[in-house]
Structure 1
Amino acid sequence: MIRLFWQAAKVAPVLFAACLFSANSASAQSVPADKEAVNQTLEQINNYQQLNQNNQSQVTNVNQLRDVSPTDWAYEALRSLVDRYGCIAGFPNQTYRGDQALTRYEFAAGLNSCLNQIERLIASNSSSVDQEQLDTINRLQQEFEAELATLGGRVDEIESRTAVLEDSQFSTTTKLKGEAIFSVSDAFGDVADNDGVEDNSDENDLQTTLSNRVRLNFDTSFTGKDRLRARLQAGNITEYDNDATGTNSTRLGYENNNDNNIEIADLHYRFPVGEKANVWVGTEGLDLDDVFNVNNPQLEDSGTGALTRFNRYNPLLFRGVEGAGAGVNLDIIEDKVGVNVAYLTDNASDSSQGEGLFNGSYNAGAQLEFAPFEALQLTATYVRDYQSGSTVDDDGDVVGAVNYGGGTVSGAVVQPFGAGVASKADKFGLGASFNVGEKIALGAFGGYANADSLGAGDDQSGDIWTWGANASLLDLVKEGSVLSIAGGMLPRFTSDDVAEDEDTSYLVEALYKFPLSDNISITPGAYAVFNANHDTTNDTVYVGVVRTTFEF
């Protein structure tokens, strides 16, 4: 497997991004016309602003400004204004930090602040200025005329830029968040048998691929506590499914292949009710893993988590009928106990018989969250699943096919009672995540379902089992990096009434997410599927991946 991983890694792209920004500069009429001098002036002011950007204590005595020379006439002038009006702010360490030409601009900035304060005091009739003070102010203004004008021009420039930004901003309520994935991948090994006929002697002829997925999330808040999400998505990510490798167990956790056509992938709204509840309502892309806690924080995200579909979260519970519906998160005891409920269906917009919001396939469930202490989170989940079976629409396409494998396995578990036969199932699951100190994160899940056929005259049933576990080492080599090993038993069907999965399939995955920057991460990894499709006659199938994720 190591050899195969490095074979895939050899073709990984080296991604570089460089951005070159140019700063506009503006000059007041009273500053020198020479461009270099103007730029130097603005740079000096920028340096001053950066030094003075923190909250600063008010200086009420000029003697506190230790770097101001007492022999300078401006020292006495400034002292008289500060002592009388308390109108200048120094730096946090009580110094001006002035040297050479910068001293004039620092001094001018303080003088400008003092003049503004004096104007406010006079306007409010809380103070007056005698002739001696007026003479002092006039002399200071004349001495620092160029510097004050430059400061004024700088302020005008900032105000102008701010006005432009306000006029051209995207929205006052909506934030745009984006993610782009570049994926290099290849699969190795013989094509797995998925129809019960031993025809898997030929090695697959798949080639190394480079593909992508792009998401744009428009997150809108109307109250500051709610969120309306509209997601646009496009991609051509390779699908390692039945048609490619002979098994759905090799599918990637971030796959999306719509030939890079833009589509609406998510459209749902979350809003608070009181202090304890959050309500979800969605018409597209609302999934159980949105409303429920999948309890797998290191691996659940499709862009930066597990490479495989199986290891992101429990496929028996959280993959199934979904898309539109509603849910509620209820906080019983803050940070300790919570309850989540949801009802989801996949054809809510279809008004035909046997479909719609309440007459079609659905998932309805509840989840209990329990955190006895901060490092440990536990979940217990129940889901009632009804799948109406496959039908043929007016275009001749098969829709609504039963699938209890969550798209993570091929075999009897997918349609346990035959193609097109409606089924129901009661699903139960447990999940746990545990942080060992600050560097190690552990996770595990287990799922069981009792499924029954709803076909005419049928009285067939069976059981479905699955489990998974993972361990992650955090901040290895660099802060933000994650080295993970994950795996488990893919959903398996057993029954005394109908054909069952005779053997047991296992999947093992290793990956290392390495952040190149705050916005770019690269994740090389590899995984193997043993006894694909719960058939020991199938050879092990391997996949090597290098995923690069851009977040912006």
Structure 2
Amino acid sequence: MSKLIWNTLKLSPLLLTATLFVATRTQAAEPLPLEEVQQTSVTQLSEEKAPETLAQVTSVSQLSDVQPTDWAFQALQSLVERYGCIAGYPDGTYRGNRALTRYEFAAGLNACLDRVNELIATASADMVNKEDLATLQRLQEEFSAELATLRGRVDALEARTAELEANQFSTTTKLSGEVIVAVSDVFGGNELAASGSGEPTGDDNDVNTVLADRARLTFNTSFTGKDELRTRLQARNVVPFGTGLTGTNMTRLGFDGDEGNDVQIDDFYYKFPLGEIADIKVDFDNGEFNDNVFTFNPLLESSGRGAISRFGRFNPIYRAGDGAGLTINLNPKGVISASASYLARNANDPTNSFGLFNGDYAALGQIAFRPSDNIAIGATYVHTYDNSTVSDITATNGISVSGATGSVFSNNPFSGASTSTNQYAVQASFKLGGFTLGGWGGYTVALNEDSPSQTADIWNWAATLALQDVGKEGSVLGLVFGQPPRTAKNDFGGRRDQDTSYHLEGLYRFPLTDNIDVTPGVIVIFNPEHNDNNDTVYVGTLRTTFRF
């Protein structure tokens, strides 16, 4: 008898024991079909459906769900400690009661055959009898077709993987995109009194129905698997329904902005974890507080899939600052977390009265209490300084106390004078079954830096309701009611809002597919610009969002 046959005979107990032990495991739920695994893309395997990597074990005691009282304990012990032919899952379990397909069995048998060849090559096998060899031969004959199919599929998958790796966009960067197309219009009576007091002009508003768009391409790069470098390109032509058209910023949409569809860098930052203690984020340009900290309005905060109005997305306090800066989120996964952020609007401008620390800036501090995914309560403080000087480089004026929401007086209470503010806010959200209740309240004390004795008090509040899966899974029915920022008191020249405006908004986000949402929505502004003399204004839009 040849040496090869003799060594094969010596290893047949290994295969027999493995076969008998593995075959008894076909008792539980049906596992993932091999066809589904084979058709999964490389990206999905690495992120969404990546199977758990098996780890070789050297002792049966390493498997936490295998006990000495189990009927197959001795067989498994032999396979592990004598032959090294069994692997466990990363969590230290073997999962011996889950089902397996014939392909999975063939894969296990093939692994043991490879181990046989390895032991034969090292001449380290023990003596066995002819009956075990016969069993081995029958197994090989029985599963020859499955083994051949498995090898063929593995070869094909390896070839496809190699092709994808050779032609992939990047080993570190992922590309995603979002496109918004919206049909919008403003309805109402006469053109508003832009001053926040007095009588309307008597003319009809000049707003016509528009078709506008916003496109974003996002490049997310990771060098360690835990960090992220984001570069987002944006082009849009959504002319704001603001003071220049309707006489008030209360009618603005949440996704507006017009650069004539010129492509610009819209978001540019790098963030990384500091162990489990903190997440660090450095904004190089166009950073915003609402992108850096939790805003307590998870279903309505998105500009592409959330509320259709600028005011309805989240508390205006998160619009108090923008630009370049640093954000630290402490204990981000804990029940209680803290955030600190600093943003400078003209950080790239080296001229006088600008730069990272000498120009417009905003500093935020926030405490969040999130005991579960269903409850979130927080308190936020922001201090800002807005310079009245217009930058020669950026050509921007920093006076926007309320983030271009609310009345003219609430954004520019001192008629262009340099302004500092102390802003305070509380907000909360509670998820109860299929709906989420939320809301916020905000109070701002503004100081005229040119005449420090002059101050203004500005208030805002809102309540939100979001119902999920109404009519179709993945849909959201949203309602927002509140008071946009209002200047209740002002020591400067009577720039105080005399009456009170109310914001009412309804929307329904309907998913046509996993990547296309259609959202009809209506905004109703009662007493616009906090002026009872102004007619009610209605803003309607049909927003379609494509994501890829």
User: Do structure 1's residue 424 and structure 2's residue 425 form an aligned pair?
Assistant: no
TM-score, with normalisation over the residues of structure 2? Answer: 0.75
Trace 1:328-343 onto structure 2 (pairs within 5 A): 328-331=328-331, 335-343=334-342
Residue matched to 1:460: 454
Instruction: Give the partner amino acid of 1:203.
Output: D
Instruction: Give the partner amino acid of 1:521.
Output: D
Question: Structure 2: how far apart are the matches of 1:109 and 1:465?
Answer: 67
Among 442, 460, 463, which residue is 2:437 paired with? 442
**DSSP-derived class of the 2:290 partner:** helix
Question: Structure 2: how far apart are the matches of 1:162 and 1:243?
Answer: 55
Are 2:407 and 2:485, in contact at CA under 8 Å, matched by a contact in 1?
no
Trace 1:191-340 onto structure 2 (pairs within 5 A): 191-195=191-195, 198-315=199-316, 317-331=317-331, 335-340=334-339
Question: Structure 1: how far apart are the matches of 2:258 and 2:329?
Answer: 32
**DSSP-derived class of the 1:391 partner:** coil
Question: Structure 2: how far apart are the matches of 1:181 and 1:452?
Answer: 39
The runs of 5 or more residues in structure 2 that have no matched partner are: 1-31, 39-50, 55-82, 87-95
**CA positional deviation for 1:321:** 2.8
Are 2:478 and 2:507, in contact at CA under 8 Å, matched by a contact in 1?
yes
Among 526, 543, 547, which residue is 1:547 paired with? 543
Instruction: Give the partner amino acid of 2:245.
Output: A
**DSSP-derived class of the 1:298 partner:** coil
Q: Which deviations, in whole Å up to 9, do the C-alpha atoms of 1:173-216 show, x marking residues without a partner? A: 22222212121222111332214563442333433222221112
Q: Which deviations, in whole Å up to 9, do the C-alpha atoms of 1:73-109 show, x marking residues without a partner? A: xxxxxxxxxxxx9999x9965775xxxxxxxx99998
Are 1:179 and 1:215, in contact at CA under 8 Å, matched by a contact in 2?
yes
Trace 1:105-144 onto structure 2 (pairs within 5 A): 115-127=113-125
Question: Structure 2: how far apart are the matches of 1:248 and 1:157?
Answer: 59
Among 50, 61, 66, which residue is 2:35 paired with? 50
Residue matched to 2:7: none
**DSSP-derived class of the 2:441 partner:** strand
Residue matched to 1:412: 409
Instruction: Give the partner amino acid of 1:487.
Output: F
CA 1:402/1:123 → structure 2, altered by over 3 Å: closer, same or farther? same
CA 1:475/1:459 → structure 2, altered by over 3 Å: closer, same or farther? same
Trace 1:13-52 onto structure 2 (pairs within 5 A): 49-50=34-35
CA 1:94/1:300 → structure 2, altered by over 3 Å: closer, same or farther? closer
CA 1:389/1:87 → structure 2, altered by over 3 Å: closer, same or farther? closer
Question: Structure 1: how far apart are the matches of 2:141 and 2:459?
Answer: 86
Q: How many residues align?
A: 464
Residue matched to 2:530: 534
Are 1:321 and 1:387, in contact at CA under 8 Å, matched by a contact in 2?
no
CA 1:287/1:134 → structure 2, altered by over 3 Å: closer, same or farther? same
Question: Structure 1: how far apart are the matches of 2:486 and 2:238?
Answer: 27
**CA positional deviation for 1:312:** 0.7
Instruction: Give the partner amino acid of 1:259.
Output: G
**CA positional deviation for 1:379:** 0.8
Question: Structure 1: how far apart are the matches of 2:157 and 2:383?
Answer: 59
Matched-pair identity in %:
45
Q: Which deviations, in whole Å up to 9, do the C-alpha atoms of 1:503-526 show, x marking residues without a partner? A: 111111001112223222221111
**DSSP-derived class of the 1:412 partner:** helix
Question: Structure 1: how far apart are the matches of 2:385 and 2:116?
Answer: 76
CA 1:366/1:125 → structure 2, altered by over 3 Å: closer, same or farther? same
Are 2:383 and 2:421, in contact at CA under 8 Å, matched by a contact in 1?
yes
**CA positional deviation for 1:477:** 2.0
Are 2:344 and 2:359, in contact at CA under 8 Å, matched by a contact in 1?
yes
Residue matched to 1:393: 392
**DSSP-derived class of the 2:411 partner:** coil
**CA positional deviation for 1:127:** 3.6
CA 1:206/1:462 → structure 2, altered by over 3 Å: closer, same or farther? closer
**DSSP-derived class of the 1:236 partner:** strand
Question: Structure 1: how far apart are the matches of 2:360 and 2:421?
Answer: 12
CA 1:245/1:151 → structure 2, altered by over 3 Å: closer, same or farther? same
**CA positional deviation for 1:51:** 8.4
Instruction: Give the partner amino acid of 1:526.
Output: V
RMSD: 3.6
Residue matched to 1:30: none
Are 1:185 and 1:545, in contact at CA under 8 Å, matched by a contact in 2?
yes
**CA positional deviation for 1:418:** 1.2
Are 2:198 and 2:533, in contact at CA under 8 Å, matched by a contact in 1?
no
Bigger shift: residues 534-543 or 121-130 = 121-130
**DSSP-derived class of the 1:162 partner:** helix
Bigger shift: residues 304-313 or 405-414 = 405-414
Residue matched to 2:183: 184
Residue matched to 1:451: 446
Are 2:186 and 2:539, in contact at CA under 8 Å, matched by a contact in 1?
yes
Residue matched to 1:162: 161
Bigger shift: residues 346-355 or 318-327 = 318-327
**DSSP-derived class of the 2:258 partner:** coil
Instruction: Give the partner amino acid of 2:478.
Output: S
Residue matched to 1:355: 354
